[in-house]
């Protein structure tokens, strides 16, 4: 299984390629970045898949923020890709039936409407909501445990769809990179209140003996509730190969309670470091110091960008070696990880 985390600025665009039990090649897409990043990111992957005679077996739209759904809108309008209606087999997309068209196409509700109408026109508009359920979903030898949204969060996101969008504060706030790991390990943090983020689809996907937790922009309290319901606790943590942190590593979309339920050595951050001051160092610091951590195991932070701002996150910490971690930065158009 190969995972690619594309460089789309502050957005998310993830593609997964793997063989099923009959050695047929499968492709799963998760989000698509912005409209403006489509041509240089996931479009080449779509072209490769089409030329190889493959399909996008599943495209997950976690929620309707522009940095997630924009590239999907660009795809459905891309007449250069022939037979695009058939290229994608299935979409996961929690839509609303609200018909108000916002005054500008720059808002994500407008892009959600475009996608909803397109999927309805080609007969692929999902009829089932993707939300927390006690039963896993099995597709192409992959098992999906849906952890977000719960019913309440999904309803809030749909209600928010039904209002004209107004500018909202973005999680992250001021850059906290000047604070030390020790200072941030006791600093408070509050949960994100954005209803669109709360409605984000997040899931644990398992393939053979490997697994990855893809948190979208979800709210940590919902993930904690889902994992607790599945029997996980600080004494019985979820062992997972990789964790894609929620909302570009924002402290408002991670919590100490969530970190203490996870047993992983590898954390993925999709952020370029400048916009909205993400990732927050708070998130990384609390991963490093949480009470359940085994310090004999090295933690790796994977970034899909490489620049001085990201490389300087831990410059304030003269004693950082004692925390046994490393940072990996990608200089390619995507961060690629292999799950053998």
DSSP 282-325: HHHHHHHH-TT--TTSPEEEEES---HHHHTTTTT-TTGGGG-E
Closest CA to 171 of 150, 187, 152, 194: 194
CA 66 to chain centre: 13
Q: First and final CA of the chain: distance in angstroms?
A: 6
Domain tally for the chain? 1
What domain range is 45 assigned to?
A: 2-338
Q: What is the CATH number of the domain that holds 104?
A: 3.60.15.10
pLDDT score recorded for residue 110 = 73
| C-alpha–C-alpha distance, residues 105 and 214, integer Å | 28
Taking the C-alpha atoms of residue 328 and residue 297, their distance in angstroms, rounded to an integer, is 16
Q: What pLDDT does residue 100 have?
A: 47
- Residue 79, Ramachandran bin (φ over 0: left; ψ between -120 and 50: alpha; else beta): alpha
The pLDDT of residue 162 is 55
Assess contact for 273 and 279: CB atoms under 8 A: yes
Sign of the dihedral defined by the CA atoms of residues 287, 190, 306, 322, in that order: negative
Q: What is the pLDDT of residue 164?
A: 39
Residue 54 has a pLDDT of 96
* Residues in the chain, pLDDT under 50: 100-107, 164-172
pLDDT of residue 48: 94
Q: What are phi and psi of 332, to 5 degrees?
A: -90, 170
């Amino acid at each position: 299984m190969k995972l690619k985390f594309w460089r789309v600025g502050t957005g998310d665009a993830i593609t997964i390629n793997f063989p099923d039990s009959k050695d047929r090649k499968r492709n799963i897409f998760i989000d698509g970045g912005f409209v403006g990043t489509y041509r240089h990111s996931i479009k080449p992957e779509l072209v490769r898949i089409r030329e190889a005679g493959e399909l996008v077996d599943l495209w997950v739209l976690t929620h309707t923020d522009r940095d997630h759904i924009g590239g999907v809108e660009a795809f459905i309008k891309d007449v250069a890709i022939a037979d695009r209606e058939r290229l994608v087999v299935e979409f996961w997309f929690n839509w609303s039936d609200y018909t108000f068209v916002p005054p500008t196409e720059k808002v994500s509700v407008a892009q959600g409407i475009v996608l909803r109408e397109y999927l309805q026109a080609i007969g692929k508009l999902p009829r089932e909501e993707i939300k927390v359920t006690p039963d896993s979903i099995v597709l192409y030898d992959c098992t999906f445990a849906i952890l977000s949204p719960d019913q309440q969060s999904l309803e809030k996101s749909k209600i928010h769809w039904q209002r004209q969008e107004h500018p909202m504060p973005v999680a992250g706030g001021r850059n906290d990179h000047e604070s030390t790991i020790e200072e941030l390990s006791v600093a408070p943090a509050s949960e994100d209140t954005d209803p669109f983020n709360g409605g984000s689809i997040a899931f644990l996907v398992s393939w053979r003996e490997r697994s990855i937790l893809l948190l979208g922009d979800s709210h940590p309290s919902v993930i904690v509730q889902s994992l607790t319901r599945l029997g996980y606790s600080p004494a019985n943590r979820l062992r997972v190969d990789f964790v894609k942190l929620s909302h570009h590593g924002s402290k408002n979309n991670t919590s100490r309670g969530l970190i203490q339920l996870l047993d992983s050595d590898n954390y993925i951050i999709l952020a370029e470091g400048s916009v909205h001051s993400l990732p927050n160092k708070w998130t990384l610091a609390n991963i490093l110091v949480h009470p359940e951590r085994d310090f004999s195991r090295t933690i790796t932070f994977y970034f899909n960008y490489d620049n001085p701002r990201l490389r300087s996150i831990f410059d304030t910490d003269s004693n950082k070696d004692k925390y046994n971690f490393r940072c990996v930065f990608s200089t390619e158009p995507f961060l690629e990880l292999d799950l053998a």
